[in-house]
Amino acid sequence: MKKLSISFILPCLNEAKNLKSTINTCIFEAKKIKSNYEILVVDNGSTDNSIEIASQLGAVVISESSRGYGSAIRAGLEKANNDISVILDADSTYDPSCLKSILEKFEKENVDLVIGNRWGYGIEKGAMPFLHKYLGNPVLSMIGRYLFNLKINDFHCGLRAIKTSVAKELPFSVKGMEFATEMIALSSIYKYKITQIPTRLLKPKFKRKAHLKTWSDGWRHLSYMISMSPKKSFLYPGIFIQIISIIFLIRFIVVDNIYSLFSGINTFLISFFLSLISFVLTKEYLETKHLMNLKLKPKDNKTQKSSFRFFKSFTKLSFLNFIILLISIPVVIIISFNKGIVFQQTYFYLTMYLISNLIFIFLQLNLLSLRLHLFDL
């Protein structure tokens, strides 16, 4: 069997102190397994001598003006010429000695994407911030496993490999750190075979300012995952909440005024607010599904025209939904005082109203974030 050739893709932003070690290690590992290789260093606006170092070591330097991890990787994948594209950080934090294991996955198991699992061989002390290690990565990876039905322990590992032909087919669009999530999500949606290998995360030999922003990048990862799995994120919760709403409505009709706290108008208003929340979730599912169609079928004119008509009608529906939520607060107050309901119960209604509005606003912001992701704005 012909040995698979490798394209190493190293996104680089001011990595002069670590770059030489990373490139030399890649060369050593590729020669050790006797594979043809190329090293693509994607410069993302370095102000040190990273470019000079890469050129001196024989790497192909690609300049990418659009800042961001995703922009750099996408530029490298576009220029890659070999069978397998191996992506790793340029700061010497990943040990490419697992290269042989990676190629064996492609050769023997015919996989399309291999993700490193930093929990396989361990994380060197001080190599990962506390919040990333014990909160961010585990929680986001757990959500990703559920939403995409994958057995991947580490969604955000910077060491990964993909068939170059597959990478060129996938409609990547994001610019930032959430590209790590996009690669896995799109590969899953397109039914490509994904697996993982154990790897180890090391401390960089020379410290530099971290490129990852804990909360903003974490939110973008989460937002992207939610948006790319609309059934589990919106439709199923919407159906569940609507069932609960119907149960409360039946109680209002059949068992009215039997219990003091959740009877009569209370029960009806609970049902009403739950129905609004269910409506918003269902609407978000339909909108997100159409946005995904635009992303996954960009050349399908029928899909684009259908989505345009859909958004036009749903914009009106969204406005109507907001108006209903807006006028519900005076309605709640009027009903409360007309029924002689005490102030504590009025506060209960207002709380329900605020919760409905907050969910509505959250989902609209999430959809806006999705548009930015999908259309590269």
Phi-psi region of 219 (alpha: psi -120 to 50; beta: other; left: phi over 0): alpha
pLDDT band at 3 (very low <50, low <70, confident <90, very high): confident
3-class SS of residue 342: coil
The pLDDT value recorded for residue 248 is: 79
With a cut of 70, say whether residue 361 has pLDDT above it: no
d(CA 270, CA 48): 61
The pLDDT value recorded for residue 349 is: 57
Q: How far apart are the first and last CA of the chain?
A: 44
The pLDDT value recorded for residue 351 is: 65
The pLDDT value recorded for residue 217 is: 79
Residue 249: beta bridge partners? none
> Which stretch, 74-78, 135-139, 318-322, 355-359, has highest mean pLDDT?
74-78
Q: Quick check: 37 and 7 in contact, CB under 8 A?
A: yes
Give the lowest-confidence range in 135-149, 232-246, 271-285, 298-312. 298-312
Average pLDDT over residues 145-156: 93
The pLDDT value recorded for residue 359 is: 67
In this structure, the strands spanning 113-117 and 194-201 are parallel
Tokens 């198991």 sit at which residue?
109
Q: How many residues does the chain have?
A: 377
Q: Where are the domains of the chain?
A: 6-213, 230-374
Average pLDDT over residues 248-263: 60
The pLDDT value recorded for residue 266 is: 66
Give the lowest-confidence range in 102-111, 230-239, 360-369. 360-369
Tokens 């790897």 sit at which residue?
199
Percent of the chain surpassing pLDDT 90: 37
State in words which class domain 6-213 has: alpha beta
The pLDDT value recorded for residue 130 is: 79
Q: Quick check: 99 and 86 in contact, CB under 8 A?
A: yes
Tokens 């992303």 sit at which residue?
295
Give the lowest-confidence range in 167-171, 233-237, 248-252. 248-252
Average pLDDT over residues 210-239: 84
d(CA 322, CA 62): 48
d(CA 117, CA 121): 8
pLDDT band at 312 (very low <50, low <70, confident <90, very high): low
The pLDDT value recorded for residue 347 is: 60
Letter string b/e over residues 89-116, b meaning 16 or more CB atoms within 10 A of that residue's CB: bbbbbbbbebbeebbbbbeeeebbbbbb
The pLDDT value recorded for residue 209 is: 67
pLDDT tens figures, 78-134: 999 999 999 999 888 887 788 889 999 999 999 999 999 988 677 888 778 778 788
φ, ψ of residue 115 in degrees (nearest 5): -110, 135
The pLDDT value recorded for residue 72 is: 95
φ, ψ of residue 75 in degrees (nearest 5): -65, -40
Kindly report the pTM of this predicted structure. Answer: 0.79
Check residues 284 and 305 and name the one with the higher pLDDT.
284
Query: Residue 294 corresponds to which tokens in the numbers above?
Result: 């635009």
Q: Is the dihedral of CA 82, 374, 181, 108 positive or negative?
A: negative
pLDDT tens figures, 20-58: 999 999 999 999 988 899 999 999 989 999 999 999 999
Distance of CA 241 to the CA centre of its chain: 25
pLDDT band at 186 (very low <50, low <70, confident <90, very high): very high
With a cut of 60, say whether residue 307 has pLDDT above it: no
The pLDDT value recorded for residue 258 is: 44
Q: Quick check: 73 and 158 in contact, CB under 8 A?
A: no
DSSP secondary structure, 242-309, as one string: HHHHHHHHHHHHHSTTSSSSSSHHHHHHHHHHHHHHHHHHHHHHHHHHHHHHHHH-TT-HHHHHHHHH
pLDDT band at 363 (very low <50, low <70, confident <90, very high): low
